[in-house]
Chains A and B, each alone.
Chain A
Amino acid sequence: MISLTLNYRAMMGRAYPRMVGVLREPSWILFDILLPLLGMGAFIYYYRAMGAPEVYTGFVVLGGAMTAFWLNVLWSMASQFYWEKETGNLQLYLLAPMSRMAVLAGMALGGMFLTTIRAFSTFILGFVIFDVQLETSNPWGLVAVFLITMVALYGMGMLFSSLYMLYGRGAWHITNLLQEPIYLVSGFYFPVRQLGFWVAAAGSIIPITLGLDAMRQLMFSGPEVDPFLPWQVELVILVGLAFVYLIAAKYALAYMEHLGKREGRLTLRWQ
């Protein structure tokens, strides 16, 4: 019998450390806001050195801020169960009388809250320091695109978390590998359409690809925006992706847990 109250409390309990961590451990201000501005600045000056229109500065600031979400999905969602296994906590999660999805939902909720603060701070700082010009044509559309992108993205993170549960130490390296290549195919710093239709379509498997493209259409104007698809179409696709990833995460989690129990890998550490 499903206990909604218990699962809700599990979800909030898992989200709590990540939300409270914003206040308790202030080092994130330096490492997650100020230091990423260095890399962002390098790309901005690179565009300026090439004589690019100023709208590209806005693309870099937006993309740079949104990298926080992708990194959070990789390191705080995908790798989480692997780390829990390494520290010996995974079996405690599995023994507790709650839905595993509640744990993943709590991780996603807490991560989303924490990362939104970081990304928003980075965006505001980049906006001010580099004098970005915004032309928001539809603020409510922008909010809708952002929220749906987050649901789809963290749904993907929940799916990755399930798949990573049985990984060995290669999990860390695979996570490390999924940074720069994703920045490239998802068009973090340039319109993804510039990679060609089929590469952009393949990159759209990652929800942040369509999310970024839609946000660029809603925040900037001019031919440089070069949309892949109209933002309304991208929003519909993102809703679909959200459903697909959340459902896939549920089934993947159950399968991987069953596989782990059968092969005795749920408590296997230091491999």
Chain B
Amino acid sequence: MESNWTNPWLFALYSIIKPIAATLILVVMYMIIWSSVLAAPEIFSYMFIGNTFFMYVAQVLFGIVMVIHEDREHYQTLKQVYIAPMSFYVYIIGRAVPKIIITTIAAVITLAFGVLVLGLPIELGEVKWLLLALAMMVGLLCICSIGIALAGVSLLTARHSMGINEGIAGMFYLFCGVVFPITFLPPWGQAVGLVMPITYWLEVVRRAILPTDMQWDSGLQSYATGDIFLMLLGTSLLFLVLSIAIFRYADHIARKKGKLDMSTTY
């Protein structure tokens, strides 16, 4: 369904160009200041890894919100799916899986580009694969749960779904140490970042992928990797509970107000 609007090759190109362009903006900004990856490899690595894996946040959140929008407005099948004898949560996550797969391909290509063309200091033999796999599992579940909350909100809104999605993604982008350590934020901003599971997820991913001497001081360096992973689990569980609560409340309001099959022609 993700690619049913074009042929597979054009879809592949579309899926890769957008995230790579976003990464290249940051690469160019870095090159203007530092001229070379070797000049500040820890800064470059921090930014590149963070931005690459943030693709999951942006694309999966966007994809899940679009599930509601597409099913309600374009295909007009939301009510049929809703009353089908299956879990609506599972349906939403199922629709998010292709987005995860496509984003993984884009992320791998971006990382390969970083290593082969830009000299990103990643050694495949030094990557902590088990830690990375665990972090990805927990991180993706967390992102999907946030997406479910946004999907719930989308049940109630006509044309603000995209704005809300972009706002939430923008909030994560600013406060979660995606391209710069949260220590550069004002104290209140750091406090916001420390509550977000994405902050810990990106920290664990960086520790799994990058050599120790390539780690930029993220403000979490004093914590052991195990502690960071526990913080990731704890904040993810918190967000999971919040997300389900938000979705169930939004679902209740949508059914109460008859918004499940509304058509806004948007």
Do A and B interact with each other, yes or no? yes
Residues 167-190 of B contacting A (Cβ, < 8 Å): 167, 170-171, 173-174, 178-181, 184-185
Contact check, B170 vs A190: say whether CB atoms are below 8 A apart.
Answer: no
Asked if B227 is at the interface (CB within 8 A of a chain A CB), the reply is no
List, in ascending order, chain A residues with CB within 8 A of B164's CB.
Answer: 31
Q: How long is the Cα–Cα vector from A173 to B13 in the complex, in angstroms?
A: 12
Asked if A127 is at the interface (CB within 8 A of a chain B CB), the reply is no
Most buried by A among B14, B17, B174: B174
Q: A35-B166, A170-B6 are in contact. Are A46 and B26 (CB under 8 A)?
A: yes
- Name the residue of chain B whose CB is nearest to the CB of A50: B33
Interface of A is mostly: helix
List, in ascending order, chain A residues with CB within 8 A of B6's CB.
Answer: 170, 173
Residues of chain B at interface, number, CB under 8 A:
38
Give the Cβ gap from B196 to chain A, nearest Cβ, in Å: 13
Asked if B125 is at the interface (CB within 8 A of a chain A CB), the reply is no
Asked if B28 is at the interface (CB within 8 A of a chain A CB), the reply is yes
Asked if B222 is at the interface (CB within 8 A of a chain A CB), the reply is no
Asked if A263 is at the interface (CB within 8 A of a chain B CB), the reply is no
Contact check, A38 vs B167: say whether CB atoms are below 8 A apart.
Answer: yes
A-B contact pairs, 18 of them (CB 8 A): A27-B160, A35-B166, A38-B170, A39-B174, A42-B174, A46-B26, A46-B180, A47-B33, A52-B32, A87-B265, A169-B5, A173-B14, A177-B14, A180-B18, A181-B18, A181-B21, A183-B25, A184-B28
Other 8 A-B pairs with CB < 8 A, given A38-B171, A50-B43, A170-B6: A31-B164, A35-B167, A46-B26, A46-B179, A47-B33, A49-B184, A50-B180, A270-B74
Interface residues of A (CB under 8 A from B): 27, 30-32, 35-36, 38-39, 41-43, 45-52, 86-87, 168-170, 173, 176-177, 179-181, 183-184, 188-191, 194-195, 270
The 8 closest A-B pairs by CB, nearest first: A38-B170, A31-B163, A49-B180, A35-B167, A180-B21, A181-B21, A180-B22, A42-B174
